[in-house]
Amino acid sequence: MIFIVTLIVALALFGLSILMKKQMRKQESLLSLIGAFVATAFAVFQMITVVPAGTVGVVDFLGNVSKNTLKAGVNFVNPMARVVKFSVKTQEIKETMNVPSHEGLSIQLEISLLFRLNPDMANKIYKTVGPNYASIILQPQFRSVVRDVTARYDAKALYTGSREKLANEIKKAIGKLVGPRGISVEAAALRQIVLPARLTTAIEEKLKADQESQRMEFILQKEKQEAERKRIEAKGIADFQTIVSEGINEQLLKWKGIEATEKLAGSQNTKIVIIGSGKDGLPIILNGDK
């Protein structure tokens, strides 16, 4: 509509400029001509649309939606058409809801859904849903899927080790529902799970008992290893003593006695007195300082 009005104004100004020129009114003719050029430039500008980065444009010309979407950048379009811009960036929906567990307990769940629009299906979304597609088809489906999935899990499992598995199931389930509509689900992030106070206390006490049991098991295992080490050490000492005792005989003792006598005899600081033979034929040696 603006394009048509601007074009009419430009033509009128051109006509006025010609009329003023014929009447020898040069100043009025020049002003009219400048106005005509400005109106023409503005009309031409209506044929150009700029699509920002991270968005696509859907062209709606009098109710007829183009099958092709406009990419980011400068695009030439029918000046009579309306261009509706859709973001294709990652978006987030945050929900805080009370959901049931497998036992029927009410659990407070805080969860975020990360999603983005498929650029090639923006025109379909525009025709079938409209720009507010997230609140119309995504949020209701999201809430329904979350409640359905959590109902398969026990409350204890949600509190302990099944959070990632639960998030993956939610992502897959919602993706199957909204994927064909042109919405890609990237992640379903569980921010917080709040269980009933009594159940939380019971689970924490159970976890503490399990940790204490594991600690005692570790201590017992360590003591067993220490006892085994001591047993091996004692056996080694006993084996050494057996070997040594078997190696000591009368000939060895006599030989060691002779070695000791020779050593003392060679010492300059020792006085040696041999007073005869002792037991087993070895000499009795007395020594003292000079």
Phi, psi of 202 (to 5 degrees): -65, -40
Is the per-residue pLDDT at 151 higher than 80? yes
Give the model's confidence band at 115: pLDDT under 50 very low, under 70 low, under 90 confident, else very high: very high
Highest average pLDDT, of 14-23, 227-236, 264-273, comes from 227-236
Give the model's confidence band at 14: pLDDT under 50 very low, under 70 low, under 90 confident, else very high: low
Is the per-residue pLDDT at 221 higher than 80? yes
pLDDT digits (tens, 9 = 90+) for 29-51: 667 667 766 766 666 666 778 88
Chain mean pLDDT for the chain: 76
pLDDT digits (tens, 9 = 90+) for 250-289: 666 666 666 666 665 565 555 554 544 555 555 555 554 5
Is the per-residue pLDDT at 290 higher than 50? no
Higher confidence at residue 286 or residue 102?
102
pLDDT digits (tens, 9 = 90+) for 160-199: 667 788 888 889 999 999 989 889 999 988 887 776 666 6
Is the per-residue pLDDT at 232 higher than 90? no
Higher confidence at residue 84 or residue 247?
84
> What is residue 36's predicted lDDT score, i.e. its pLDDT?
66
What average pLDDT does this structure show over 222-240? 81
Is the per-residue pLDDT at 128 higher than 50? yes
The pLDDT > 70 percentage for the chain reads 62
Give the model's confidence band at 90: pLDDT under 50 very low, under 70 low, under 90 confident, else very high: very high
- Does the model's pTM come out above 0.85? no
